[in-house]
C-alpha cells in the first residue's frame, strides 16, 4: 500500500481554497514540477516539512532570514513587543529608532518612510519620482523584478527603446506605455534612451545586484552611466535594494559600488522575517511625501511595532564585528565548492556570489543579462533541484532565482551541501 505524503495531502487541500495552493507563485514549484514542501518549523539554517524531513534552507524566506531562522534574540524581541500590543495606528518610538538606524547605515539616505512590503516601497518611490520631476516615463531593465505594481510589471521589450507590454493580464496598456524596458548591463541602450527621451524620463529603477533573474552583478560602468545620465537629464536614480540591501554589504549595493542613488527601496532583511520595508532619499525629496508634500502614500500597518521589533533586532545582529566577512565567506565557499564538484563530474555549471547572495548557473560562465540567463540549461537545473531536495537541500525552486545563506550556514553545513551536490552531479 502506498501512503500519500503529508505534503501531497496539504497541496491537494490548499488548491481547493487558494489559487495554485500557494500565496505567492514561486512557492508552487511550477517551474521545477512536483509538490511544494509545506513547512512546519525552522531553526538556524534548517527547516522541516510536513513529513518531518529536514532541509538545509538556501532561500531564507527569499532573503530576510539573514541571521538564521528563529534567532533567539529576534524571537524574544517579537514576544516582548507582542505583549505590549500588536498595532496602534499611532506613532511609536520604535519607528524613530528604526528610521535612525537605516539612515545611519545606508549611505544615500537622510529620511525613510516605513511600509510593509517591497512592492509598496518601489511603487511609492516611483510615485515620488514622478511627483518630484513632473514626468511620466520610467526606465527599468529586463529581468529586474520590483514587486507587482502595475507600471513595474512589464516584461522585456524586444530590444532597444521598445515600450513594454504588460507581463500580467489585468495591467492596462495605458499604464505601462510609460515604461521603457532595456537590457541590463547595456550602457549603449541607456545612452540612446536618454538621447531620445531625456527630458521625459522621471526615473531609472534598477536592482544594482540583480537577484530575480538568478544572480547577475551590475557592471561598474553600467551603474556609473545610470548615475551620470540621470544627473545630466534631471531624472532620479532609484536603487531597488529590497533584496540586496543589508545582504551584499551592511550599506547595501550602494556602499559596495560607491554609487549614490536618489531614492532607495528596502525590504526583506529590515523586517527580519516580518513585514517591514522602506523607501527613502534626501530630506528635500522625501519632503514631497504626504503629510508634508503632495505625493500621497499611507498604510494601516506601516511601522507595525512587532515587525519593527524583529527588524531592529536583526539590524543590531548584522552589525556584529565580522558579520559580513563570515556571511560572504560562506556564500563564496558554497559557490566554489559547487563549481568544483560540477567540474569533477564534467557538468557545464558555475556559481557566483556577492555578500550573502549566490547564483547557480547551468552554463559555463555567469550570465550578464536576462537573455544570457535564459540560455542556461533549465532542464538540468530542474533535475539538480529535485535531486538536491531528495538529499535534504532546499534551493530556490526555479532557475531564475538567487539563493541566500544566513550567518548560521556554518562551514559544516556548506560542506554537507557540497558533498550532496557531488553525488547529484555524478548522476546528472
Give me the active site residues, please.
Answer: 145, 240, 268
Tell me how far, at minimum, the Cβ of 147 lies from ligand PLP, in Å. 3
Q: Which of 118, 208, 272, 303 binds ligand PLP (CB under 6 A)?
A: 118
Nearer to ligand PLP, 32 or 424 (CB): 32
Question: Could you write out the three-class secondary structure of the chain?
Answer: CCCCCHHHHHHHHHHHHCHHHCCCHHHHCCCCCCCCCCEEEEEECEEEECCCCEEEECCHHHCCCCCCECCHHHHHHHHHHHHCCCCCCCCCHHHHHHHHHHHHHCCCCCEEEEECCHHHHHHHHHHHHHHHHCCCEEEEECCCCCCCCHHHCECCCCCCCEECCECCCCCCHHHHCCEEEECCCCHHHHHHHHHHHCCCEEEEEECCEECCCCCEECCHHHHHHHHHHHHHHCCEEEEECCCCCCCCCCCHHHHHHCCCCCEEEECHHHHECECCEEEEECHHHHCCECCCCCECCCCCCCCCHHHHHHHHHHHHHCCCCCHHHHHHHHHHHHHHHHHHHHHHCCCCCEEEEECCEEEEECCCCCCCCHHHHHCCCHHHHHHHHHHHHHCCEECCCCCCCCEECCCCCCHHHHHHHHHHHHHHHHHC
Judged by beta carbon, residue 207 or residue 352, the one nearer ligand PLP is: 207
CB of 370 to ligand PLP, least distance (A): 14
Q: Which of residues 120-149 bind ligand PLP (CB under 6 A)?
A: 122, 145-147
Cβ atoms of 328 and 409 closer than 8 Å:
no
Residue (266 or 420) nearer to ligand PLP, CB: 266
Nearer to ligand PLP, 272 or 337 (CB): 272
Q: Output the smallest distance, CB 281 to ligand PLP, in A.
A: 16
Our CB check for ligand PLP shows the closer of 240 and 352 to be: 240
**Could you tell me which stretch among 99-107, 111-119, 172-180, 300-308 binds ligand PLP (CB under 6 A)?**
111-119
Question: Cα Rg for the chain, rounded, in angstroms?
Answer: 21
Least spacing, CB of residue 54 vs ligand PLP, in Å: 25
In the numeric block, which cell numbers belong to residue 150? Answer: 502595475
Q: How far is the CB of 273 from ligand PLP (least distance, A)?
A: 12
Q: Which of residues 33-72 bind ligand PLP (CB under 6 A)?
A: 62
Q: Tell me which stretch binds ligand PLP (CB under 6 A): 14-22, 49-57, 206-214, 382-390.
A: 206-214
Nearer to ligand PLP, 213 or 235 (CB): 213
Whether the bond between 291 and the residue before it is cis, its omega within 30 degrees of 0, is yes
- CA-based angle 404:352:102, to the nearest 5? 45
Crossing angle of the two packed helices 411-427 and 378-390, in degrees rounded to 10? 120
Is residue 208 near ligand PLP by the rule CB under 6 A? no
Binding test (CB under 6 A) with ligand PLP, winner from 92, 108, 117, 330: 117
The binder of ligand PLP chosen from 142, 207, 372, 401 (CB under 6 A):
207
Q: Which of 212, 214, 297, 328 binds ligand PLP (CB under 6 A)?
A: 212
State in angstroms the smallest separation of the CB of 62 from ligand PLP.
6
Residue 117 Cβ vs ligand PLP, minimum distance, rounded to whole Å: 4
Q: How many residues bind ligand PLP (CB under 6 A)?
A: 16
Contact 120, 183 (CB under 8 A): no
Nearer to ligand PLP, 11 or 62 (CB): 62
Question: Is 252 or 267 the residue whose CB approaches ligand PLP more closely?
Answer: 267
Which residues in 275-334 contact ligand PLP (CB under 6 A)? 277
Compose the 228-267 pattern: x for residues touching ligand PLP by CB under 6 A, - for all others: ------------x-xx-----------------------x
Which residue stretch of 13-21, 103-111, 118-126, 413-421 sits at the interface with ligand PLP (rule: CB under 6 A)? 118-126
> Hey, what's the cell of 29?
514549484
The CB-of-391 to ligand PLP minimum distance in angstroms stands at 26
Residues that bind ligand PLP (CB under 6 A): 62, 117-119, 122, 145-147, 207, 211-212, 240, 242-243, 267, 277
Amino acid at each position: 500500500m502506498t501512503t500519500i505524503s503529508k505534503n501531497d495531502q496539504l497541496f491537494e487541500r490548499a488548491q481547493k481554497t487558494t489559487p495554485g495552493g500557494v500565496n505567492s507563485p514561486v512557492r508552487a514549484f511550477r517551474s521545477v514540477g512536483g509538490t511544494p514542501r509545506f513547512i512546519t518549523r525552522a531553526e538556524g539554517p534548517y527547516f522541516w516539512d510536513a513529513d518531518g524531513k529536514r532541509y538545509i534552507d538556501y532561500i531564507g524566506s527569499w532573503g530576510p532570514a539573514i541571521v538564521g531562522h528563529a534567532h533567539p534574540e529576534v524571537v524574544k524581541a517579537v514576544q516582548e513587543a507582542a505583549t505590549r500590543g500588536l498595532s496602534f495606528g499611532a506613532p511609536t518610538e520604535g519607528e524613530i529608532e528604526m528610521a535612525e538606524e537605516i539612515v545611519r547605515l545606508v549611505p544615500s539616505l537622510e529620511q525613510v518612510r516605513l511600509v510593509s512590503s517591497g512592492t509598496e516601497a518601489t511603487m511609492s518611490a516611483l510615485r515620488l519620482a514622478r511627483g518630484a520631476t513632473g514626468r511620466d516615463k520610467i526606465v527599468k531593465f529586463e529581468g529586474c523584478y520590483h514587486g507587482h505594481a502595475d507600471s513595474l510589471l512589464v516584461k522585456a521589450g524586444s530590444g532597444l527603446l521598445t515600450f513594454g507590454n504588460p507581463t500580467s493580464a489585468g495591467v492596462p496598456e495605458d499604464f505601462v506605455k510609460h515604461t521603457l524596458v532595456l537590457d541590463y548591463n547595456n550602457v549603449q541602450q541607456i545612452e540612446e534612451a536618454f538621447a531620445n527621451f531625456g527630458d521625459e524620463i522621471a526615473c531609472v529603477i534598477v536592482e544594482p545586484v540583480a537577484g530575480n533573474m538568478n544572480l547577475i552583478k551590475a557592471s561598474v560602468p553600467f551603474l556609473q552611466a545610470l548615475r551620470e545620465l540621470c544627473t545630466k537629464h534631471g531624472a532620479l536614480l532609484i536603487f531597488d535594494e529590497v533584496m540586496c540591501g543589508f545582504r551584499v554589504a551592511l550599506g547595501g549595493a550602494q556602499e559596495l559600488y560607491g554609487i549614490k542613488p536618489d531614492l532607495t527601496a528596502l525590504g526583506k532583511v529590515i523586517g527580519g522575517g516580518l513585514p517591514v520595508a522602506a523607501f527613502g532619499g534626501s530630506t528635500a525629496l522625501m519632503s514631497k511625501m504626504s503629510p508634508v508634500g503632495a505625493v500621497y502614500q499611507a498604510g494601516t500597518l506601516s511601522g507595525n511595532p512587532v515587525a519593527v521589533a524583529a527588524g531592529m533586532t536583526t539590524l543590531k545582529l548584522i552589525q556584529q564585528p565580522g558579520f559580513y566577512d563570515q556571511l560572504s565567506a560562506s556564500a563564496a565557499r558554497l559557490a566554489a565548492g559547487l563549481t568544483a564538484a560540477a567540474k569533477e563530474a564534467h557538468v557545464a555549471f558555475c556559481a557566483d556570489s556577492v555578500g550573502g547572495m549566490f547564483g547557480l548557473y547551468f552554463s559555463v560562465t555567469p550570465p550578464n543579462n536576462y537573455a544570457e540567463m535564459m540560455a542556461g540549461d533549465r532542464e538540468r537545473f530542474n533535475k539538480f533541484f529535485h535531486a538536491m531536495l531528495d538529499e535534504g537541500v532546499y534551493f530556490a525552486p526555479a532557475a531564475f532565482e538567487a539563493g541566500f545563506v544566513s550567518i548560521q550556514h556554518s562551514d559544516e553545513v556548506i560542506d554537507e551541501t557540497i558533498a550532496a551536490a557531488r553525488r547529484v552531479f555524478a548522476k546528472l
